[in-house]
Amino acid sequence: MRKLNRGVAVVGTGMSHFGSFPEKTTRDLFVEAFQDMRASVDRGLDPNDIEAIYIGNYSSDLFEGQGHTAPIMADWVGLAPRPATRVEDACASGGVALRQGILAVASGLYDVVLVGGIEKMSNLPISGVTDALATAGDVSFEIPAGFTFPGFYAAMATAYMHRYGMTPEHLMNVAIKNHENGALNPKAQFGVTIPNWMQGRVDAALRKGRPAPAWGSVVRTRCSRFGAASLANVASVRPGPISMRTDAPSRATCSRDPRSCSWHGRKRRKGGSPRR
């Protein structure tokens, strides 16, 4: 893990609600996350301090028929005509946008940038979402072989089970853990643990005079269609950009590996919950 040439920290974060919102577009979710991010900064944030924007977005072109995404997001929060760049890297788009923002600040090009990830998949039917996600596969080899994107991951999971001895129960526990974490977030799409969700289905069946479901070890592990946005304000670690905004910056360390960035130095609020 190499040290950045210049200290970089996250000084504010925000997110929209996660869910299916027929009445909203991606830009509406972006505005919601932007307002939440501004409210999270200890000492306030003047949008005029933001010098550039990096937005991770997989395919608003296919999901919403909207390209030129980053400049539109910037315009809707009053940041035009600042440089606005869209980054696409399938499921990693938001994380890669964050990495690009870190490197932009570490290089000395900017002191303060806005980074985030946005997506809205719920405008399309399931078949349309499946087709859009399939473009993240290799359309020359994988898709002609009959793979959908979920099918491709199922094949990888089966191969992993064969090689390392993983069982479906291991994946079940991952889904249970993920829903338990999601239930702690008031903006999560479902906001309920799997045991509580399962019990709710049992109670509903009994109220209707139907047999209660027998679950066994089958737990939903797929990802639902949704729309959401999340943002972070990234600044250089020097007296101006950090001290005027927050008492609790999260500092970044990155390596040459594009998957590797870590955060250090987050203070905790009373009661033990970490600052956002």
Task: Measure CA of the first residue to CA of the last residue in the chain; give whole Å.
Answer: 24
Confirm if 4 and 254 have CB atoms less than 8 A apart.
Answer: yes
pLDDT at 222 (0 to 100): 55
Q: Which helix (H) or strand (E) holds 52?
A: strand 52-56
Q: Is residue 142 within 8 Å of 81, Cβ to Cβ?
A: no
pLDDT at 165: 96
Q: Residue 162: CB partners within 8 Å, gap ≥ 6?
A: none
pTM of the model: 0.81
pLDDT at res. 80: 93
The CATH T-level fold of domain 8-124+225-264 is: Peroxisomal Thiolase; Chain A, domain 1 (3.40.47)
| Domain edges within the chain | 8-124+225-264, 167-222
Q: What is the pLDDT of residue 151?
A: 84
Predicted pLDDT at 130: 84
Q: For the chain, give the longest Cα–Cα distance.
A: 67
Amino acid identity of residue 191, one-letter, is G
- Angstrom distances, CA of residue 81 to CA of 25, 32, 47, 231, 243: 21, 20, 13, 19, 27
Helix, strand or coil, per DSSP, at residue 115: strand
Residues 6+ apart with CB under 8 A from 167: 161
What's the pLDDT score for residue 146?
A: 82
Q: Which secondary-structure segment (H or E) carries 205? A: helix 194-207
- pLDDT 10s per residue in the chain (276 long)? 567 778 888 888 999 999 888 889 999 999 999 999 999 888 888 899 999 999 999 999 999 999 999 999 999 999 999 999 999 999 899 999 999 999 999 999 999 999 999 999 888 888 888 888 888 888 888 888 888 888 888 899 999 999 999 998 898 898 889 889 989 999 988 888 888 888 888 899 899 998 887 655 454 555 666 688 888 888 877 656 554 556 666 666 665 555 556 555 554 444 444 443
Q: What is the DSSP string of 136-179?
A: TS-TTTTTTTT--HHHHHHHHHHHHHHHH---HHHHHHHHHHHH
- Whether the Cβ atoms of residue 27 and residue 231 lie closer than 8 Å to each other: no
Give the DSSP H or E segment for 254.
Answer: strand 250-254
